[in-house]
A and B are shown apart, each in its own frame.
Chain A
Amino acid sequence: MSFEWEHVSPEAAGMDRQVLMQLDDYLKQHRYRLVNCVLVVRNGKIVWESYYNRYHADSRNPIKSIWKSIMALTTGICLDRGLIGSLDDPVSLYLPAFGRSIHPYHKLMTIRHLLTMTSGIYWNGGVHYHCPMMTQLLRSKDWVEHLADVQMASVPGMSFQYKEFDVVLLSAVISRATGAPAYEIARQYLYEPLQIQSGRWPESSCGISYNVMKGEVQSDLSARDLAKFGLLMHGNGIFDGQTIISPEFIREITAPSNPNYGFLWVLLRDGYGARGYGGQEINVVPELDLITVIQATPTDSSKSYGDIHEQLLKPSIIS
């Protein structure tokens, strides 16, 4: 049985066609030349999809940090399958380098801290989040050893700092727990049942999956495939009648660890979403049964297009 998207007219979905038709003008007016796709799903059906810059329904676009949100789902799968014991397991249980007391705070660090960006590891995001601290990591032979050497800025769990290091460590934990790069779990238990088209995530020589590095293009996804993550989340872990992730874990993903952040998913006023550098967005508004996806070509100056969802797509809803 294969999943097929259903389409529905704006009228039938309770949305204002006139407003949605303004989308092209809106992008022009705001000079959003880099936006490649805007996709609207309501009640599980595609209401609207616009493609630009020669993109089409099958084009794959960089996912950037949406990968982090996918990693949260992957962690849930590991937990459901008993590959990871508990979110409160110390990181050192999986990565012995963190149990050697290189820094006294290391032993307090748990998987939950990695999911909530509160590991306490020192991080400098640089201008426009160019991540200067990643260059040394990417060139090091053993990523975990390198991360264990990085200075600690605060006690784990005490302060939120969005960073790459936490999700790299999470990926390393999954590698160690499952004996294979995190991509393998994602492919087998997430991408395959959701029928998502993706290449293998790039990985380090020490066997850790990561996205923003050489080979990144392989993990690109289409807008429709991104919308499937929205459906999965909105369906409490069930996709097309099949349970992919336990509902308990999905609930935890969107439970606030701080007012704006869950488990590698951002929390919105009326829902939640995934975000990636350069304007990649998945938005889910559960009460409106609305999922929107925006994809754009990333450039050096970090751009975002949150207003499209807030100012145009959401207001187009009539009932």
Chain B
Amino acid sequence: MQTFIEIQGARIHNLKNMNVRIPRGMLTVITGVSGSGKSSLAFDTLFEEGKRRYLMFSGTQFMVDATAHFDSITGMSPTVAVEQRIIRQSNPRSTVGTRTKIGNLLAVLFASYGHRDPAFDDGEPLSMEYFLRNSPKGMCVKCLGTGQYHQLEEEAIIPLDKPIKALFDGFIARHRLYRSSFKKFCELHDIDVNDTIRTLSDEVLLLFKYGCRRSGFSGAVVIFHDMYKHVTSKYSRHNGADKAVVLWGVQADRIACPKCSGHGISEHAIHMTIAGKTISELEQLEIGELLYILQSFKEEMPSARSLLNEMIVKLSCMSDVGLHHLSLSRQVPTLSGGEIQRLFLASYIIAEMDSIIFIFDEPTIGLHETEKALLIRIIRNLVERGNTVVAVEHDEQFMRAADYIIDIGPGAGVNGGERIFQGTLKQFMTCGTSRTAPFLSGERSLMVKQHYKPVDENKMLTISNASLHNLRDITVSIPLGVMVGVAGVSGSGKSSLIHDTLVPLLKRQLRGRMVYEEDNDFIFETNDTVISGTEHIKRCIVVDQRPIGRNKTSCPATYTGIADRIRALLARTEQAADSGYSAGLFTVNSDGGCRACKGEGITHFHIGFGNFIDVKCELCSGTGYVEEALSIRLDGLNVKDILELSVSEAVLFFGNEQSEAYDRTIHAILSTLERVGLGYMTLGQKTPTISGGEAQRIKLAKELCKPNSKDIVYILDEPTTGLSFADTEHLISLMQQLVDAGSTVIVTEHDASVLSNCDYLIELGPGGGREGGNVIATGTPIELISHERSIIGSYLRKVRA
């Protein structure tokens, strides 16, 4: 067996005929600045080829592959990719038990070996589905398997003395889903919304409560029930399941479902026990305890031994990766990012494979420093079992744990794609050409703020009595005009505080002065939570990681608005004017799109078994544009060429005052994109290929282009995600500029170097979920270092050292 995986002549995307060696059976980190070609090497070359060879070999798939993007790869094994953003899990029915399939094993155990309460024995056996709360056969029909029930009194929902328009604080007349049908309903029945509900006739009241077919109005009680369901499910996804939900002043305590006493399964299944325990009792035990009990079952039930052993192996493995504190009934959406990633990892370890190539995409994203150490240990464990692990990673702690480093660069996009270094960490430290090495060797370090901008006690934004999700009725003061970092382990309540409490409240108070593209206009019931200090805020800009645009053809050019200007420039050329072409010709969404492929440039062919192959469109030869559109050139480039320029190239192209392509606005926008570290990105890069971090920086750049003024609040969510040291440094200085200009930057962040550059920190914790939700420390980074309860403090100390 070869000791290295050798890739010769890799040339996909920006890779420049790269030759690399990756040692088998070791932990290799591929690093480099964003856009340098790390993912192109790890995922688009190594993983794709590994997958292709394996599938071809096993004959399960028909592959008609295009040209290879490399000369040769030797030393391959089957590859598994653990991609980024497995973190967002939202199905509340998904639990640790269902995800690991241990729930199914337990159900089989009960179906085969359970003891039936004679009072509930109808002589027929119970199948395994009877023990699964997600199966329509087994679920309790009243709570549909959730185990919980809300008793809502109709009199409380519809108080007869309330004016109609004031019901639910005016929600019905305001919400976009209901307002038009409600208006129609009122017109149809001649209702004055200023009257009280009592004035409605019995007949109309019934329609008002339960819906009116003629106007399409869904009915107030129905709307209430639907919203209530929505809010409670949101709560339960955020660790707030134990709290009573209050919606528009109506409170309903969450009670155990009266039919199944909270078990979530039918009464037949509830009365089946093993050693006196029901299946849901076992599911609620922590994994550590469950393991102990299953061990004891082995003595009592020798015939079930193999089934028990299978469960014990799986559970021990989960315990090994540090998940012993979870129960099988724990809902996956309530797990922290770190826990979910470890859950996935556990399933790989359970598989007990060796000689596999695992490829990870920034596995430390979203992890607190303490969680990183645990993750590294698990990944090393995979290596020790004889697997090869390749990780695309920027994190320092992770790189230090690697056996082998590959650095790609030196720059991004066309300036990258070369192998700068391959070898051990020790050798890497002395590598002179790498931009990352100096940071690792300590030769260079990220700047650390020495002088904090003083906090002005009179200019504070205060959130009082925040109790959403797992927040423990906390009051937080955020100083304005400085850089504020919100820290805490995953699940500690950072997002609940900033994105789910502060942002909606700001939106309500600032209205038009709030810049936030968001489709969910329902605001959490925040009766007791109030904010003060908004009078100091001129505008608030939320820059999140959601994709830019919703359209397949969205790209940085369209999002920042320069696409329109480029089209106008093209339409203004002499040639275009002579031919009578308008700006609409230069977009694939309008006249300019190829008729055959609708502007995609490729056509999809179904080749059976749900597989498609993409073939270059014959009509437009893959350009996506009609010929007329491509015939018009601006300073030698047509629209397609322009969109293929990288931001850095385009800065030069549009910045030359002598050229007919000169445009000051475009130049300014592009320069800002370059400043936020996106110089490598092409103007026409499609939305799906843009990472969350990149999307956030595009949005930030768009805001930065606007005429600068003070008293703006910028809210950012982990802005350094996926950034190399050099890029992080860049971004920090950009944020500092905003603060220097008199604005406020609020960042939720794990990265200690970013936090070290804040003027003021708010740390939530101490743990995640139920263990979180409190403010454990506030102050300057220096103050947190010496703060006894602060967890991030010790990491801040390391950054300063």
Residues of A within 8 A of B (CB): 104-105, 108, 122, 124, 126, 132-133, 135-136, 139, 146, 149-151, 154-155, 157-158
CA distance A126 to B142 in the complex (A): 18
Report chain A residues within 8 Å CB of B129.
132
Interface residues in B107-151 (C-beta closer than 8 Å to A) = 122, 124, 129, 135-137, 141-144
Query: Contacts of A158 on B, CB cut-off 8 Å?
Result: 211, 213
Complex alpha-carbon distance, A132 and B266, angstroms = 13
A139 near B137: Cβ-Cβ < 8 Å: no
Residues of chain B contacted by A124 (CB below 8 angstroms):
136
Contact A133 B213 (CB under 8 A): no
Q: Which of A104, A105, A126, A136 contacts B141 (CB 8 A)?
A: A136
Contacts A139-B124, A155-B222, A158-B213; A133 near B142 (Cβ below 8 A): no
Judge whether B581 is part of the interface by a CB distance below 8 angstroms: no
A155 and chain B: residue at smallest CB distance? B210
Chain B residue nearest in CB terms to A123: B136
Residues of chain A contacted by B137 (CB below 8 angstroms):
132-133, 135-136
Question: How many angstroms from the CA of A139 to the CA of B211 in the assembled complex?
Answer: 35
Query: Is B337 engaged at the interface, CB distance under 8 Å to the other chain?
Result: no
Are A150 and B141 neighbours in the complex by a CB distance under 8 Å?
yes
Closest chain-B Cβ to A163's Cβ sits at a distance in Å of 12
The CA-CA distance from A105 to B206 in the complex, in Å, is 11
Query: Is the pair A136, B266 in contact by a Cβ cutoff of 8 Å?
Result: yes
For residue B221, CB closer than 8 A to chain A, the reply is yes
Nearest to A105 among chain B residues (CB) is B210
A132-B136, A132-B137, A133-B141 known; A149 and B221 CB under 8 Å? Answer: no
Q: How far is the CA of A41 from the CA of B334 in the complex (A)?
A: 63
What would 16 more interface pairs be, CB under 8 Å, given A124-B136, A133-B141?
A104-B152, A104-B154, A105-B210, A108-B210, A122-B144, A132-B129, A132-B135, A136-B137, A136-B266, A136-B268, A139-B122, A151-B143, A151-B144, A155-B222, A157-B213, A158-B213
Which residues of A have CB within 8 Å of B459? none
Q: Which 5 A-B pairs rank lowest in CB-CB distance, beginning with the nearest? A: A132-B137, A124-B136, A132-B136, A150-B141, A149-B142
Q: Is the CB of B141 within 8 A of A146?
A: yes
Q: Does B219 contact A (CB under 8 A)?
A: yes
Contact of A149 among B152, B206, B259 (CB under 8 A): B259
* Measured CA separation A124–B142 after assembly (Å): 13
A-B contact count (CB 8 A): 43
Q: Specify which chain B residues have a CB less than 8 angstroms from the CB of A126 in the assembled complex.
A: 136
Query: Shortest Cβ distance from B224 into chain A, in angstroms?
Result: 10
Q: Which among A104, A133, A139, A154 is the interface contact of B268 at CB below 8 angstroms?
A: A139
- Across the interface, which residues of B come within 8 angstroms of A133, CB to CB? 136-137, 141
Residues of B476-535 whose CB lies within 8 A of A: none
Interface residues in B200-222 by Cβ distance below 8 A to A read: 206, 210-211, 213, 219, 221-222
* Cα of A104 to Cα of B153 in the assembled complex, Å: 8
B213 partner residues in chain A, CB cutoff 8 A: 157-158
Give CA–CA (A234, B144) in the complex, Å.
Answer: 43
Task: Please give the distance in Å from B265's CB to the nearest CB on chain A.
Answer: 10
- With a cutoff of 8 Å between Cβ atoms, the chain B residues found around residue A154 in the complex are 222
With a cutoff of 8 Å between Cβ atoms, the chain A residues found around residue B136 in the complex are: 124, 126, 132-133
User: Shortest Cβ distance from B205 into chain A, in angstroms?
Assistant: 13
In the assembly, what is the distance between CA of A312 and CA of B84, in Å?
56
Q: How far is the CB of B445 from chain A (nearest CB, A)?
A: 59
Q: Within 8 Å CB of B206, what residues of A?
A: 108
B535-568 at interface with A (beta carbon < 8 Å): none
Question: Distance in Å from the Cβ of B102 to the closest Cβ of chain A?
Answer: 23
Q: Are B152 and A151 in contact (CB under 8 A)?
A: no
- How far, in angstroms, from A149 to B152 measured CA to CA in the complex? 15
B143 contacts which chain A residues (CB < 8 A)?
A: 151
A residues less than 8 Å from B210 (CB atoms): 105, 108, 155
User: Once the chains bind, are B154 and A155 in contact (CB under 8 Å)?
Assistant: no
The reply to whether A122 and B141 contact each other, CB–CB distance below 8 Å, is: yes
CB distance from B477 to the nearest CB of A (A): 44
Closest to A147 in B: B141
Nearest Cβ on chain A to B517's Cβ, whole angstroms: 32
Alpha-carbon distance A206/B567, docked complex (angstroms)? 76
Contacts of A151 in B (CB 8 A): 141-144
Cβ of B135: which chain A residues have Cβ within 8 Å of it? 132
- Bound-state CA distance A105–B141 (Å) is 16
Question: Could you tell me if A150 and B142 are in contact, using CB atoms closer than 8 angstroms?
Answer: yes
Distance, CA A95 to CA B141, complexed state (A): 19
Pick the most buried of B141, B152, B206: most chain A CB atoms within 10 A of its CB: B141
Q: Which residues of A contact B154 (CB under 8 A)?
A: 104
Across-interface contacts of A108 in B (CB, < 8 A): 206, 210
Minimal beta-carbon separation of A127 from chain B (angstroms): 10
- Per the bound structure, the CA–CA distance linking A210 and B124 in Å amounts to 20
Taking the nearest CB of chain B, how far is it from the CB of A160, in angstroms?
12
Min CB gap A158→B, angstroms: 6
CB closest chain-A residue, reference B129: A132
Are B211 and A149 interface neighbours, CB within 8 A?
no
B118 to chain A, nearest CB (A): 15
A90 shortest CB reach to chain B, Å: 12
- Bound Cα distance A139, B122 (Å): 8
B219 A155 Cβ-Cβ under 8 A: yes
In the assembled complex, the Cα of A154 lies from the Cα of B218 at a distance in Å of: 10
Chain B residues, Cβ within 8 Å of A132 = 129, 135-137
22 contacts between A and B (CB under 8 A): A104-B152, A104-B154, A105-B210, A132-B129, A132-B135, A132-B136, A133-B141, A135-B137, A136-B137, A136-B141, A139-B268, A146-B141, A149-B259, A150-B141, A150-B142, A151-B142, A151-B144, A154-B222, A155-B210, A155-B222, A158-B211, A158-B213
Q: How far is the CA of A139 from the CA of B268 in the complex (A)?
A: 9
Min CB distance A165 to B, Å, is 10
